[in-house]
């Protein structure tokens, strides 16, 4: 039986429409190439392979049949516009999670949504197969094939991240 938390998340984010494996588009090959964002410079990039259990902050993998079982290739990077490289005012924080399947990536997206505190996220079509964003697209979480992503602002000035999300996913 699903926990109260899982039931709440499924209802809040309409996950009964997108979480199941049958609706998940499978990607044939993993990216394994660090992302590049046009017009931006990477200030920091960290790549690692992490056991799937370590990404299970909300404890959902024990309840979801589609939850990731194999290690996740995780990239955590920070970017700034080229013209601000010396004195950044705007920062973009990008996290990507390459999962073993589209279904596992969708379970990872639900994990990311479970960790959100702050402004409300609503379903959007700005990027990927399934995505959620804040008003103004200052934070976007989604999934594209077997990759889940979280794109957020980190600087003093907020940016609309929809162009970047559409470019990458």
CATH for 153 = 3.40.1000
Q: 34 is in which domain, residue-wise?
A: 4-168
What are the tens digits of pLDDT across the range 99-114? 888 888 898 999 899 9
**Nearest Cα to Cα of residue 132 among 5, 2, 18, 6:** 18
102 burial (CB, 10 Å; 0-12 / 13-18 / 19+) is buried
Q: What is the pTM of this model?
A: 0.88
Distance separating alpha carbons of residues 91 and 41, to the nearest angstrom = 10
What torsion, rounded to 10 degrees, do the Cα atoms 72, 45, 125, 61 define? 20
**Nearest Cα to Cα of residue 148 among 65, 67, 36:** 67
Domain count, the chain: 1
Q: How confident is the model at residue 28 (pLDDT cuts 50, 70, 90)?
A: very low
For 7, phi then psi, to 5°, come to -60, -45
pLDDT of residue 85: 85
Residue with tokens 């259990």: 53
């Amino acid at each position: 039986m699903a926990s109260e938390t899982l039931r709440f998340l499924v209802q809040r984010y309409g996950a009964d429409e997108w979480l199941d494996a049958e609706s998940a588009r499978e990607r044939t090959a993993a990216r394994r190439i660090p992302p590049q964002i046009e017009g931006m410079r990477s200030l920091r990039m960290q790549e690692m392979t992490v056991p799937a259990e370590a990404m299970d902050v909300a404890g959902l993998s024990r309840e979801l049949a589609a939850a990731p079982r194999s290690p996740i290739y995780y990239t955590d990077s920070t970017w700034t516009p080229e013209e601000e490289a010396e004195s950044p005012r705007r920062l973009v924080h990008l996290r990507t999670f390459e999962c073993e399947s589209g279904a596992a990536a969708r379970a990872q997206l639900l994990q990311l949504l479970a960790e959100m505190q702050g402004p409300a996220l609503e379903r959007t079509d700005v990027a990927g197969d399934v995505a959620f964003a804040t008003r103004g697209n200052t934070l976007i979480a989604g999934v594209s094939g077997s990759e889940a992503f979280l794109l957020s602002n980190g600087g003093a000035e907020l940016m609309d991240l929809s162009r970047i999300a559409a470019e990458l996913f």
